[in-house]
Chain A
Amino acid sequence: MNDLAIETHALHKHYGDINAVDGLDMHVPRGAVYGFLGRNGAGKTTTIRVLTGLARATGGDMRVLDLDPRTDSVAILARTGLVIEKMLIPSMTGNDLVRFNRGFFPRWSDALAQKYAEVLELDMKRKFKKLSTGDRTKLCLLLALSHGAELILLDEPTAGLDPVVTDQLLRVMVEDFANEGRTLFLSSHHLSEVERIAEWVGIIDHGKLLLEGRLDDMRANFRRVRVVGEAQPLAAWPDLVSANTGEGTTEYVVRADADAFAAHLRSQGATVLDVTPLNLSEIFLEVVGKGKPNVSMEVLA
């Protein structure tokens, strides 16, 4: 059995001129919480649609739960809980939707659905079209989590939700994940939430994965090295992500071996002010190339 829940290799999805997914190489380990991070329009939703067979890939390979979505999407969907689009059948109530959904999944659990309805404070007798955005998302999540899926795919689950609902959802996600040992794949650009619960992170921009790895490793390895004065002339340093000069200091961001880099700078006579960590938001901005939009950028990596 493959130890990857999702694996893609040079995945492509083109719509005419638009390359929504443009050579994506992704590896999602089984049993992990994987945060799929990207800006609006980076290709997150399209990737999920291709992985579930809702859209057809235009090139590349992919495997989800050891199956090929091109030929076995039904088998994949039987073992996957999906929240995408967040639009269910408008004329049905929560209870109707449970009844409808139940018949598709042999491992459906009414007890679990009921528990989630209580925890999420959902009125299951209300028609879907009358529910607020937050309640709609909650209901979608309830349906996805109640049938014993091995893989949960959530597309921007906290988009447009107020902090209270976001908190409720996070709690449910964490509890569910802990109980079931599933793989949880969520796409988002709400980095503070992802930072809490993700072990693995993949940063996508313009349809390509720019960075992928354990979040703890990234937090341990990405460092901002601040130096007094102007930028030093540097031979190409492989782990350097960016360099910015402004207000009497130069800031370098490296993705590994910060100590070696600082030592190198000192050996050239630079005065190193400090070496500080970056949070996920800062790492994201650096990787996507938008660290400091108003200052001249030198990307040497």
Chain B
Amino acid sequence: MYLWKYWRESRITFAVGLLLVGLLLWAVLKIHLGGLHRLPGDVSKQNLAQLYLVIAAPLTLLVGFLGLRFGSFGVGRDLGEGSGSFLFSRPRTRAFFVWSDWVYGMTQLLLIVLAANAMLAWAIHRIAPDTAVILMSRQPVSMLAIFCLHCTSGLLLAGLIFGLIYFSSVLARRHGVQLAIGAVLTFEFFKPVVQHYWPQIILPNFTLTEFSFTLSPTMPVGFADHLGLSIALRATLALAFPIAAQLLLQQRDID
């Protein structure tokens, strides 16, 4: 019933998301490494480091965009289209609808993030089957750790954007999505401005990129010094949005 409705709304985005992720990875690997065959001789660390760099940016954009898209599904859409009275007069609590949207959306995003990272890990493994990968840090780090870190980062990114868009769509109904996109873009735009004028203030990134590149559990600079803390903070923020959406809906009259 409600799951089926959500799936109906989101299945095309889900399929296209998976497809785009696959295409992106394939394209990057093809262009950058000349394919998935083993390279002769040593695989240089620079190549792999570059690979991560090259993939991280578009993948982040893609995951961000998917988070945005998924966030527009669910009750916000119904409120915007005028079927809010119908939906909320079904015998379920408003919290049920909010958290159903969240679970269904985040599950699909999780699957996409997992798929993307699994494909990447598999591709890397084919080229350089060493279990340890050395990037910019000095210690060898296992592929599994990288895989987990990237999945976490991707999921948190998706969750943050998903939550923001979802909350906005509940808050402002028709224009919520545009508002949220505006907010994200403004934030990203002002970051370099702030960095220029007030270099002592460092605004957090949407992803955990600083950790990805140095791969050390602590960062000398940044909003949160410890990886664990950084993850926790982002996760809290990502969860705060659906909670806020639930509270907002519970307070409000449904038109």
Closest residue of chain A to B253, judged by CB? A55
Q: How far is the CA of A85 from the CA of B88 in the complex (A)?
A: 12
Whether A74 contacts B93 by the Cβ 8 Å rule is yes
Q: Complex formed: what's the CA distance from A192 to B90 in Å?
A: 31
Contacts A54-B253, A55-B254, A104-B1 given; does A90 touch B90 at CB 8 Å = no
CA distance A100 to B5 in the complex (A): 7
Across the interface, do B1 and A90 meet the contact criterion of CB distance under 8 Å? no
**A104–B91 contact, CB under 8 A?**
yes
The CB with the most chain A CB atoms within 10 A, among B2, B78, B89, B93, is that of B89
Residues 213 to 255 of chain B near chain A (Cβ within 8 Å): 253-254
When A89-B5, A100-B1, A101-B90 are in contact, do A54 and B83 touch as well, CB less than 8 Å? no
Q: Check if B78 sits within 8 Å of A89, measured CB to CB.
A: yes
Contacts of A77 in B (CB 8 A): 89-91
For this complex, into which size category does the number of interface residues on chain B fall? 20 to 34
A-facing residues in B72-87 (Cβ within 8 Å): 78, 81-83, 85-87
- Chain A residues with Cβ below 8 Å from B196 are none
Could you write out 21 A-B pairs with CB less than 8 Å apart? Answer: A49-B85, A49-B253, A54-B89, A54-B254, A55-B254, A56-B253, A74-B92, A77-B89, A77-B90, A78-B91, A87-B81, A87-B82, A87-B83, A87-B85, A87-B86, A88-B86, A89-B78, A89-B81, A92-B8, A100-B5, A103-B4
Contact partners of A75 in chain B: CB under 8 A: 91
Kindly state whether residue A52 has any CB partner on chain B within 8 Å: yes
Q: Which residues of A contact B85 (CB under 8 A)?
A: 49, 54, 84-85, 87
Query: Digit string of B32-55 for contact with A (CB within 8 Å is 1, else 0)?
Result: 000000000000000000000000
Q: Are A99 and B4 in contact (CB under 8 A)?
A: yes
Interface residues on A, range: 20 to 34
A88–B91 alpha-carbon span in the complex (Å): 16
Contact of A102 with B by CB under 8 A: yes
Cα distance, A55 to B253, chains bound together (Å):
4
Closest to B78 in A: A89
Closest Cβ neighbor of B89 among chain A residues:
A82
User: Which residues of B lie under 8 Å from residue A105 when comparing CB positions?
Assistant: 91
Cβ contact within 8 Å between B81 and A54: no
Given known pairs A78-B91, A89-B81, the reply for A103 and B86 (CB within 8 Å) is no
Rounded to whole angstroms, the CA-CA distance of A55 and B208 in the bound complex is 42
Smallest Cβ-Cβ distance to A46: which chain B residue: B253
From B88, which residue of chain A is reached at the shortest CB distance?
Answer: A54
Provide the residues of chain B in CB contact with A89, threshold 8 Å: 5, 78, 81, 83, 86-87
Contact of A84 among B4, B5, B89, B253 (CB under 8 A): B89
Nearest B residue to A102 by beta-carbon distance? B1
Question: Chain A residues near B92 (CB, 8 Å)?
Answer: 74, 104
In the complex, number of A-B residue pairs with CB atoms less than 8 Å apart: 62
A75 to B86, CA, bound (A): 16
Q: 9 nearest interchain CB pairs? A: A103-B1, A78-B91, A55-B253, A77-B91, A85-B85, A87-B82, A54-B254, A104-B90, A89-B83
**Shortest distance in angstroms between B161's beta carbon and chain A's nearest beta carbon?**
24
| Distance to closest chain A CB from B30 (angstroms) | 38
**Can you name the residue of chain A whose Cβ is closest to the Cβ of B251?**
A56
Chain B 12-66 residues near chain A, CB threshold 8 A: none
The CA of A90 and the CA of B78, in the complex, are separated in Å by 9
Q: Which residues of B contact A74 (CB under 8 A)?
A: 91-93
Q: Besides A90-B81, A100-B2, 16 other CB < 8 A contacts? A: A49-B85, A54-B253, A54-B254, A77-B90, A84-B85, A85-B86, A87-B83, A88-B83, A88-B86, A89-B5, A89-B78, A90-B83, A91-B8, A99-B4, A103-B4, A104-B91
Please, which residue of chain B has its CB at the minimum distance from the CB of A81?
B89
A82 to B88, CA, bound (A): 11
CA distance A52 to B85 in the complex (A): 10
Residues of B within 8 A of A85 (CB): 82, 85-86
Residue among B82, B86, B90, B92 with most chain A CB within 10 A = B86
Beta-carbon nearest neighbor of A87 in chain B: B82
A103 and B2 within 8 A (CB):
yes
Please, which residues of chain B bring their CB within 8 A of the CB of A101? 1, 90
Within residues 54 to 77 of chain A, which ones have a CB less than 8 A from any CB in chain B? 54-56, 74-75, 77
Chain A window 86-119, contacts with chain B (Cβ cutoff 8 Å), 1 for yes, 0 for no: 0111111000100111111100000000000000
State in angstroms the CA–CA spacing of A13 and B111 once bound together: 46
Residues of A within 8 A of B88 (CB): 54
Contacts of B254 in A (CB 8 A): 49, 54-55
Assembly CA distance A75 to B92 (angstroms): 9
Q: Which residues of B contact A54 (CB under 8 A)?
A: 85, 88-89, 253-254
